[in-house]
Amino acid sequence: MTFNSIIPELTVSNINQTKEFYIFKLGFNLEYERTDDKFFFATFEESQFMFEELHNDGWNTGALEYPFGRGVNFSICCNNIDKLYERIMKHQIKPYRKLHKATYLCGEKVEQQKQFLVQDPDGYLLRFTD
């Protein structure tokens, strides 16, 4: 496996609940886990994430309270945004923002993409784009 040059590691309140959400509901691939450490590494297409349950010796710079990750959203590219959106609706995941087309000015070029946003069980904001 080749690791991306940047891989976010998210501190979570319940590793089993997080694994259920990302692996079974969103369809991420479980690459490996360290069950004694309450840690797992998962991928979604070209994106990679690490998850670790909150503990006293973690790399936490302050108190964590819901929603975790305030002020950040993770933009995750998706090959089939419509299929993924159907999947989240099937699992009754309430979108933070419903599937829509967005237009962004990128330098001199205008880019359009389909996107939707969801929050994970700890409130991390995930923005899936085509």
Q: What is the CATH number of the domain that holds 90?
A: 3.10.180.10
Task: Pick the closest to residue 21 from 130, 124, 99, 115 (CA basis).
Answer: 124
Q: What is the pLDDT of residue 129?
A: 97
66 within some domain: no
62 within some domain: no
- Residue 46 domain boundaries: 9-56+72-129
Residues 34 and 41: beta-carbon distance below 8 Å: no
Q: What is the pLDDT of residue 12?
A: 96
Residue with tokens 């503990």: 55
Q: What is the pLDDT of residue 30?
A: 98
Count the domains in the chain.
1
- Show pLDDT as tens, one digit a residue, over the chain (130 residues): 899 999 999 999 999 999 999 999 999 999 999 999 999 999 999 999 999 999 988 888 888 889 998 889 999 999 999 999 999 999 999 999 999 999 999 999 999 999 999 999 999 999 999 9
CA distances (Å), origin 23, targets 28, 63, 122: 5, 27, 15
3-class DSSP state of 130: coil
Beta bridge partners of 44: 47
